[in-house]
Chains A and B, each alone.
Chain A
Amino acid sequence: MSEVTQILQAIEKGDSAAADQFLPLVYSELRKLAACKMANEPPGQTLQPTALVHEAWLRLGGGDGQLWTGRAHFFGAAAEAMRRILIENARRRKALRHGGGQQRLDIQEVEVAAPAEDEQLLQIDDALGRFSLLDQKKAELVKLRYFIGMTIEESAQTLGISEATAKRWWEYARAWLHAEVIAQHRNK
């Protein structure tokens, strides 16, 4: 049985320590998988977050009879992990551009296709952080949609809500975040 499966079962039983271990685990799995894929692809290719996450899920044995809630946990963690990877990449590139050329980092950059330009990505992430304080659930939905490219339908299933609700949440969250990002621009 894989480590992920064990942890998922522990989470099912309400083990909160297991929940804390889970995110780093998914994070490192995603990185490993991405690095391995990069090595086998021609240079210049970028990896699609959706494909990457789904493949990670299958590799971890997610295909065979996993609990539904386990799936939800996994994709929730994967969205957060992907968000961190993307934000790290954006921050690092930004630092390099701003004359930080000497601070070479030993982690190999994983070329994951980002949904937006670095600057915008960081702004959106900022706004999303504020939004999640206000409405955790809807912020989860945004992460699933935005960072791992889930459709409304998939994200509704993952969160255990109806598609109609997901769509409504999405539109509200999107309007909220858009307004926030625009306001940030104006204040600059």
Chain B
Amino acid sequence: METNPQDSPSTTGAAREEAIFNAAKTLPKADRAAYLATACGAETELRQRIELLLESHEQAGDFLQPQPAAAGSAPTLVVSPSALEKPGDFIGHYKIRELLGEGGCGAVYVAEQTEPVRRKVALKVIKLGMDTRNVMARFEAERQALAMMDHPNIARVFDAGATETGRPYFVMELVRGIKITDYCDQNNLSTAQRLELFIQVCHAVQHAHQKGIIHRDLKPSNILVTLHDGVPVPKVIDFGIAKATEGRLSDLTVYTELHQFIGTPAYMSPEQAEMSGLDIDTRGDIYSLGVLLYELLTGRTPFDPQELIRSGLDQMRRTIREEEPVRPSTRLSTLMEADLTALARRHGAEPPKLIHLVRGDLDWIVMKALEKDRTRRFATANALAADTERFLKNEPVEARPPSSVYKLQKMLRRNKPAFAAAAAVIGALVVGLGLSLYLYTKERAALRKEKEAVRRAQDAEQQQVLLREQAEKGLAIERKAREMSSVGNQLTTAGFLMSQGLFDRAEELMKEVTPIIPQSASIYYALGARHFGNGELKAAITNFTTSVRVDPTNHFWYHYLAPVLVLADENDQYQKLREQILNQFKGTSDPAVAERMAKDCLILAPPAADLETLGRMADVAVSAGPTNKDYPYYQFVKGFAEYRQDHPAASVGWLQSVIAQGGNVARMVEAYAVLSMAQLKQQHTNDARESLAAAQELAGNRLERSEVSNWNDRIIAKELIKEAAAQLDSLQQAAPVSK
């Protein structure tokens, strides 16, 4: 049998390899094997090649990335050792004892205070290049507040001043500890123990916030753990210092001071990354706490700090402001196995258990703290601590996965209302993924059947003939199977593109999809819904029409196309669609199908010849009986049909029953609108006017906010209001009614 992979139609080997590679790398690692099995089918060579590329992709690391160290020609900013203070030197009242550390911001010393009390303090001297007067002024402004801070988990700030060379310095409580992340890892702290420490940090930050102090530079190196009688105590240092030295974040200085600025971009909140320098509040600290929690759980920050630095200032800001970090559990599950094992060992847990523990509640807690929009974060550090405690006590946490509507909104990047296509996009993805395998196996099964027949043939000569026939058929089937699986790949890619919000590219791709198969309908539907959401009716109609064309036996697609045609005033197309619907579905015995299809045909008054058929379909719908949970829908379509059949009294009866049951807003609006028209036909003008008013009020108040999925019903509801209002209007113009 011919099994040359080059047979695949329409895509060249390299383009196909690239498409599958692109799709696979967006998947979690665990799902890739299954996807590749589906996408590559029996083409083992292609599959091996893509596996190699994926492995390469994972391992590429710094490959081809310019090294940050290569930025050699930038003026060097490191303060040379000679400019540093030496032990024995005095700064103010403080005698330098030893260098504790050097950071982007300056040097920290252990110093001895002689008066008014004798004690050891930490003394931080800020690097040259800052405007000392401004720094001091800002510090003075906060000194009162800083003095009021008194918390066991906060290192106190005692004093500030300027050295003889004019550099600002700060005097703080001396904390001899190690970075919280290092402490946790060196002592193999369990996840629960890490969370306990984290909660203490939150409480410290809350205390400061209550005194009106924002830290602005929370990061592991500013949270040190010391042991008190063997109990680890985290201490937050440097409160008030970032504020005093904030000048360094302004746009002008940032370039020349790039090195110190980029010391901690990984912990910087989106609003700080804006660097407008004006509007930073306590919620910036909440974000940094979220990053800390992320790192405590996964050993990594949401964005790779090296990557951030390498990407340059603008890209870095954009990443922090716009890119969604992956969830902690997802991050864990995409770690290389060796890394995960090592990480899990540092948490004193088995890898699968660790992932399981983090997935869900902890994910949501972290992601809520990391929201780009600060109004969606935890309002206070205490709220973050409280939710973490709830997790530890196995109580339900308050942070919740974002609703599907919210996620859809995010996905569409604020592009217009979001009644589009959440379900359909997900559907398209699932369909696409499963499709190639399904199609392939289906055609293969046909082939197997043929082979069975050969095996069962008794006569040897008959077998020969059959075999020859089968060989020919087999080739054709094999070719078709390949063709089908290639369509499946295209659909998968389109689904992925849409899930990434890349609708235009998905649409381009879908224009080329051949052959036509029903499984692609959901993708055309999703594309149409997206256009509809953007108010592009023509493009919406094109796509919805295609979904009907490729999958004509599924009533679902008609149900979206019909209302949009009415909305766009495409009356000829609508009439044609009605004929098509009636041909296809007039004999249906499924109440739900009968209801939807009849309703779609009734939106505009149908020709008299069709009324009988539509009445029968409405009967099929109500035959479901009152025990059916969708019965009010069926009653509505029956009342609607009665109205179009010019039986106003019967219509009023059905519709009043629908209204009495309440429920779905669109259905209520529709029922009131048709009721109004039926009452008008009975010449109950005042009742008609009241019913229309009820329809309009409901529509005005609640329709837009009602269930996102029923947008087609909302169109119908509005169209019916228009029709009822027009009828009342024309009546009034013809003969003004006296009260």
Q: A residues bordering B, Cβ < 8 Å?
A: 45-48, 51, 113, 115, 124, 134-135, 142, 145-146, 149, 151-153, 164, 168, 171-172, 174-179, 181-182
Q: Is B130 an interface residue (CB 8 A)?
A: no
B52 within 8 A of A: yes
| B73 touching A45, Cβ below 8 Å | yes
Interface check B66, CB cutoff 8 A: yes
Are A178 and B21 touching (Cβ within 8 A)? no
Q: Which residues of A contact B311 (CB under 8 A)?
A: 151
Contact, CB under 8 Å: A145 / B57: no
Known: A151-B315, A179-B56; 10 extra A-B contacts, CB below 8 A, are A46-B73, A48-B70, A48-B71, A51-B73, A135-B14, A149-B66, A171-B57, A175-B54, A176-B56, A178-B57
Once the chains are docked, how many angstroms separate the CA of A117 from the CA of B61? 16
The complex places the Cα of A145 from the Cα of B315 at a distance, in Å, of 14
B500 cross-chain contacts in A, Cβ below 8 A? 164
Cβ 8 A contact of A175, one of B21, B73, B315, B502: B21
Q: How far is the CB of A51 from chain B (nearest CB, A)?
A: 7
Q: Is the Cβ of A172 less than 8 Å from the Cβ of B64?
A: no
**B514 is an interface residue with CB less than 8 A from chain A:** no
Tell me the bound Cα distance from A152 to B315 in angstroms.
9
Instruction: Answer yes or no: B279 CB below 8 A from chain A CBs.
Output: no
A60 to B630, CA, bound (A): 74
Tell me if A145 and B54 are in contact (CB < 8 A): no
**A–B pairs, 8, beta carbons within 8 Å:** A46-B72, A48-B71, A153-B315, A171-B22, A174-B60, A174-B63, A177-B63, A181-B63
Give Cα A104–Cα B28 distance, bound, in whole angstroms.
55
A179, B53: Cβ atoms under 8 Å?
yes
Minimum CB–CB distance from B492 to chain A (whole Å) comes to 15
Q: Are A175 and B60 in contact (CB under 8 A)?
A: yes
Query: In the complex, what distance in Å separates the CA atom of A164 from the CA atom of B14?
Result: 20
Interface residues of B (CB under 8 A from A): 14, 18, 21-22, 25, 52-57, 59-60, 63-64, 66-67, 70-73, 311-312, 314-315, 500, 502
How near does chain A come to B336, taking the closest CB pair, in angstroms? 15
Whose C-beta in chain B lies nearest to the C-beta of A164? Answer: B502
**Given A115-B67, A151-B312, A178 and B56 contact (CB-CB distance below 8 Å):** yes
- Given A46-B73, A179-B52, check contact A124 B64 (CB 8 Å): yes
In the complex with contacts A149-B66, A164-B502, A172-B18 CB distance below 8 A: yes
Residues of B within 8 A of A179 (CB): 52-53, 55-56
A142 x B64 contact (CB < 8 A): yes
Q: Give the Cβ gap from A57 to chain B, nearest Cβ, in Å.
A: 18
Inter-chain CA distance A113–B56, complex, in Å, is: 26
Taking a contact as CB atoms under 8 Å apart, the answer to whether B70 and A47 are in contact is no
Query: Which residues of B sit under 8 angstroms from A113, Cβ to Cβ?
Result: 70, 72-73
Complexed CA–CA distance, A113 and B72 (Å): 8
Chain B neighbourhood of A178, CB < 8 A: 56-57, 59-60, 63-64
Contacts of A176 in B (CB 8 A): 53, 56
With contacts A142-B64, A177-B64 taken as known, whether A182 is within 8 angstroms of B25 at the C-beta atoms is no
- A48-B73, A113-B73, A151-B312 in contact; A175/B64 too (CB < 8 A)? no
Contact B56 A145 (CB under 8 A): no
Q: Please name the residue on chain A nearest to B50 by beta carbon.
A: A175
In the complex, which residues of chain B have a beta carbon less than 8 angstroms from the beta carbon of A51? 73
CB atoms of B73 and A146 under 8 A apart: no
Nearest B residue (CB) for A138: B18
Q: In angstroms, how far is the closest chain B Cβ from the Cβ of A29?
A: 19
Kindly state the separation between the CA atoms of A113 and B54 in the bound complex, as whole angstroms. Answer: 30
In the complex, the answer to whether A47 meets B73 with C-beta atoms within 8 Å is yes
Q: How far is it, in angstroms, between the C-alpha of A124 and the C-alpha of B62 when the chains are bound?
A: 13
The listed residue with most A CB atoms (<10 A of its CB), out of B21, B64, B67, B502, is B64
CB <8 Å contact, B53 and A153: no
A175 to chain B: which residues have CB within 8 Å? Answer: 21, 53-54, 56-57, 60
Contacts of A149 in B (CB 8 A): 66
The smallest C-beta distance from A185 to any residue of chain B, in angstroms, reads 12
Contact B60–A45 (Cβ < 8 Å): no
- The docked-state distance in angstroms from the alpha carbon of A172 to that of B20 is 11
Q: A113 to nearest B CB, angstroms?
A: 5
B311 to chain A: closest residue by CB? A151
Q: Please determine whether A168 and B22 come into contact, CB atoms closer than 8 angstroms.
A: yes
Most chain B CB atoms below 10 A, which of A51, A153, A175: A175
Given contacts A171-B57, A174-B57, contact A115 B66 (CB under 8 A): yes
Query: Does A172 lie within 8 Å of B22, measured CB to CB?
Result: yes
**A135: which B residues are within 8 A, CB to CB?**
14
Residues of B within 8 A of A48 (CB): 70-73
In the A-B complex, the 7 residue pairs with the closest CB atoms: A175-B57, A179-B56, A175-B56, A178-B56, A175-B53, A178-B60, A113-B70
Contacts of A182 in B (CB 8 A): 56
Most chain A CB neighbours (cut-off 10 Å) among B60, B63, B67, B311: B63
Partner of A146, one of B59, B60, B64, B312: B64
